[in-house]
Structure 1
Amino acid sequence: MCRPFSDGAIEPVGMMNASAMNARNTNARMNATTIESIVSRTPSPVDRLAAAGAVSTGAWESGMSSSAKGGRPPQAAHIAACSIASHASYIDHPILEPTVVGRGGPVKKEPTDAAASARLDTPRPVRRRSSLHQAPPPRRCEGNVEERVNRRIDVIVNPVAGGSRSGQAVARLRGALRDLGFDVLIRQTRGRGDAARFANEIAEDAALVVAVGGDGTVNEVVSGLAGRTVPVLIVPRGTENILAKFLGVRGDTRWLAAAAARPRCMDFDAVVANGRRFLCVSGVGFDADVVRRLERRRRGHISHFDYFWPLWRTFWSWRFPPLRVEVDGTRVFEGRGLAFVGNVPRYAIDLRILREAVCDDGLLDVCIYECAGQERLLAHSALTLARRHIGRPGVYYHRGRHVRVNADQPLPVEVDGELLGETPVEYTILPRAARFVVGALSA
């Protein structure tokens, strides 16, 4: 085996002449002298610790001698001192100060100078979070079921929601609620509008109302309550159940019964689109045409597979007509594309189109995709699946309290997976207009 010299000659490995050895030893001594000179001019970790008052020089020398006596090499103590000194450099840092944990939680040390105080008092951007995201401590609903004289629970059931029958689940829930001492009244819908009518007939002092179905059924129940403070407990039986997933609602009987007996609630904004209330997301254009095709074919229960042909046909036939979007009176978009308006980040198949939406901030979130063909639509879809679409070219994101969408030719509009009608459409926000049960209070 051979290796090249710097001058191009070849030297056998393991055979080194004396001159090369001497040259290398000389270089090593020169490097050691240079390093020693640099170290002598640089404050040592001990000096830094002594200056900070963390350790005295005498203590350090005593520790070094004891380390040497115990067979521990002085280098180990030196390395430890370097580590301690590196941490000691943060002792007086105004931002990275250690916190003291007391009974009331972390307590930050007071800054030692005016400059540090100014830095700590500077406001920092905080991401908008809803009370649900912040995981608030459990609290009772106003008029908790244990305090109400009326022990009646109304159960509104959509028997054709989703892809399976809900009769057995409703029967189990009714038995569990009756075992807890509630009077249970079950009413089944037969068509659109029945759930809203049943909810409108519920007394103001009712314990709570249970909505068994999908997002459309929940929307009707909230619309029928018309802003009353009766809590709504969702039993997810729809195809997507966007709202139930967002709220963390489970479908097993034991969890639902516990939540009904000792509900932990949160308030929720509602959206009004051309006079109709909804809670999640509305789409204008492409996805609304998919919903329109699906409703023409629907004959009862549906599943995700029922969306395939409507989606396939809309994908190849949609021409992306131009539309205009206004937010709080200002036109923010005009051109070919599709628009989404809503109140929660979650959409079908867990798409996060309105990724920054907060359900109780009193604002509508608007996402507009500039799109004129299938290739561009696929690119937008891929970015949305990866949750990286916001801020990309051709994607416009806005917030406001009033949104209007119009077009030269009428475009279909859907709300929470149900066909609303056609453009023009106007959206307004109703802050904290609904109340949902999101869990059970601990005993």
Structure 2
Amino acid sequence: MTDWWPLALVVLLLLVVIAGWLLWRATTTAKERGARSGTAYSSSSGRGAQGGTQAETTADETSTAALPRAAVVVNPTKFDRTDKVRAEISKVCRGHGWADPLWLETTLEDPGYGQTKAALAEGVDLVCALGGDGTVRIVGSAMVGSEVPMGLLSAGTGNLLARNLSLPVTSLTQGMKVALTGADHRIDTATLRLRRPLRDADDEDAPPPVDTSDLDDLPPVPRQGEGEVEDHIFLVMAGIGFDAEVMANAPEKLKKQVGWAAYIVSGAQRLKGKQFKVDVRTDAGVRLRRRVRSVIIGNVGKLTGGLNLVPQAQADDGILDLVLLSPEGLVGWGAVVTRLVTRSSRGHQRVDYYTGRTIEVTSDEPVEIQLDGDTLGLATAMTIGVNPGSLILRRPA
């Protein structure tokens, strides 16, 4: 029996050599494949730089691709460190079985419209606006008619749409949870066409005349001329006069320090501002000419500080609510505030309410205009039409 063991030893050594050669060849081939594909491999284990085999990595990518994904359009100026905010949102997404979100930051040149369109082109399942009322408006305007739901992540001073829809305004985590797990709810939006004041004819930078033939039949009021026309979409409310002046002059530094109370300071400084004349027409048959201090058209009615400007307004009723404020002096403002707070009609009629699906307002002089808290400069006329059920929002299930 001792005669065969040398032969067995030779066969065993030969098998070891063959096995070693096969292992070396397999490793070399894997390295070559990795070099061609840009993937680094470890010669000792055959694992890639991501810590798994090529098959495992492909499986992970396939698994991740199968998960729903949200996009977050964020205004970075609202945060000291966006990396911490991004990590918090990503954690919430992973905890609810979603992939890490597509993160898109706004810029001065593009405050969110292009980023939202890019997110929709990527085929995301949800787009969240993370910023103030202005960011929400821009993101929402880009999503109208897209059939992709929108989530609201509040980070501004007013957060008006979130407040009107009873969405979280103090917790980013809670807001993201609602966006991921909430129910889809359709709300109205509104399209506003504003008319700018006519520029000086001697102004070399003045734009060429704009065809406004589709805006004829507006109330004939005395005005210096008709300038360029712009279209905008808003979600909360549009206004000319006092409210726009308040928002335009609220110091940004003060807003960061005291929040919405900064608007109270700005408003107190402008209570004695002059009135202006407007002509108003609605598709419901309203025709009036009135001296006012402010004209507001709302899709919803709640303001900051718990004040409900239009108690009957609903975001999904297919109707716009028109409010005319006509105070004279401090006494008049006292009557306005009393009526808004108590919802009483006692005293002089300082607050008038109307409704319609289309509302036209023309001023006899250029006045400040605002959309959802964003001031847009001076305008002489605005035509607003409602877009029923045009935006899908995530609300608590």
Instruction: Give the structure-2-normalised TM-score.
Output: 0.66
Q: How far did residue 166 of structure 1 move? A: 6.2
Q: Residues 397 and 167 (structure 1 numbering): CA distance in 2 closer, same or farther, change over 3 Å?
A: farther
C-alpha distance in structure 1 between counterparts of 2:346 and 2:312, whole Å: 9
Q: How far did residue 290 of structure 1 move? A: 1.3
Q: Secondary structure at the match of 1:203?
A: helix
The 5 Å alignment of 1:196-345 reads: 196-203=113-120, 205-250=123-168, 251-252=170-171, 254-274=173-193, 275-294=231-250, 297-298=251-252, 302=256, 303-316=259-272, 318-328=273-283, 330-345=286-301
Q: Secondary structure at the match of 1:355?
A: coil
Question: What amino acid does structure 2 have at the position aligned with 1:322?
Answer: K
Question: What amino acid does structure 1 have at the position aligned with 2:361?
Answer: V
**Corresponding residue for 2:90?**
174
Q: Residues 283 and 253 (structure 1 numbering): CA distance in 2 closer, same or farther, change over 3 Å?
A: closer
The one-character-per-residue Cα deviations of 1:200-229 (angstroms, maximum 9, x if unpaired) are: 122364210111112211110011123211
Contact 1:326 1:333 in 2 (8 A): no
The 5 Å alignment of 1:372-411 reads: 372-388=328-344, 393-411=349-367
Contact 2:151 2:394 in 1 (8 A): yes
Percent same amino acid among aligned pairs?
A: 26
**Corresponding residue for 2:101?**
184
Which of residues 130, 151, 161 is equivalent to 2:68? 151
C-alpha distance in structure 1 between counterparts of 2:325 and 2:331, whole Å: 13
Contact 1:156 1:210 in 2 (8 A): yes
The one-character-per-residue Cα deviations of 1:285-344 (angstroms, maximum 9, x if unpaired) are: 1111112223xx43696323433553233223x111222222126423422332111111
C-alpha distance in structure 1 between counterparts of 2:323 and 2:189, whole Å: 18
Contact 1:268 1:433 in 2 (8 A): yes
Contact 1:160 1:301 in 2 (8 A): no
Contact 1:229 1:435 in 2 (8 A): yes
C-alpha distance in structure 2 between counterparts of 1:407 and 1:149, whole Å: 54
Contact 2:189 2:391 in 1 (8 A): yes
C-alpha distance in structure 1 between counterparts of 2:335 and 2:164, whole Å: 26
Q: Residues 261 and 281 (structure 1 numbering): CA distance in 2 closer, same or farther, change over 3 Å?
A: closer
Contact 1:390 1:396 in 2 (8 A): no
Q: Which runs of 5+ in 1 are unaligned?
A: 1-147
C-alpha distance in structure 2 between counterparts of 1:366 and 1:415, whole Å: 14
Q: How far did residue 260 of structure 1 move? A: 3.8
Instruction: Give the structure-1-normalised TM-score.
Output: 0.60
Question: What amino acid does structure 2 have at the position aligned with 1:220?
Answer: I
The 5 Å alignment of 1:106-145 reads: none
Q: Residues 226 and 313 (structure 1 numbering): CA distance in 2 closer, same or farther, change over 3 Å?
A: same
Question: What amino acid does structure 2 have at the position aligned with 1:184?
Answer: P
Q: Residues 438 and 319 (structure 1 numbering): CA distance in 2 closer, same or farther, change over 3 Å?
A: same
Query: What do you get for the CA RMSD once the two structures are aligned?
Result: 2.6
Contact 2:292 2:324 in 1 (8 A): no
Q: Which has the larger radius of gyration?
A: 1
The one-character-per-residue Cα deviations of 1:55-111 (angstroms, maximum 9, x if unpaired) are: xxxxxxxxxxxxxxxxxxxxxxxxxxxxxxxxxxxxxxxxxxxxxxxxxxxxxxxxx
C-alpha distance in structure 1 between counterparts of 2:267 and 2:83, whole Å: 30
Contact 1:320 1:373 in 2 (8 A): no
Q: Does residue 1:367 correspond to 2:323, yes or no? A: yes
Q: How far did residue 350 of structure 1 move? A: 1.9
**Corresponding residue for 1:50?**
none
Contact 1:345 1:355 in 2 (8 A): yes
C-alpha distance in structure 2 between counterparts of 1:401 and 1:345, whole Å: 16
C-alpha distance in structure 2 between counterparts of 1:399 and 1:230, whole Å: 29
C-alpha distance in structure 2 between counterparts of 1:380 and 1:386, whole Å: 10
C-alpha distance in structure 1 between counterparts of 2:387 and 2:366, whole Å: 26
Q: How far did residue 164 of structure 1 move? A: 7.3
- Larger RCO (alpha carbons 8 Å, 6+ apart): 2
Q: Which runs of 5+ in 2 are unaligned?
A: 1-64, 194-230
Contact 2:237 2:299 in 1 (8 A): yes
Question: What amino acid does structure 2 have at the position aligned with 1:437?
Answer: R
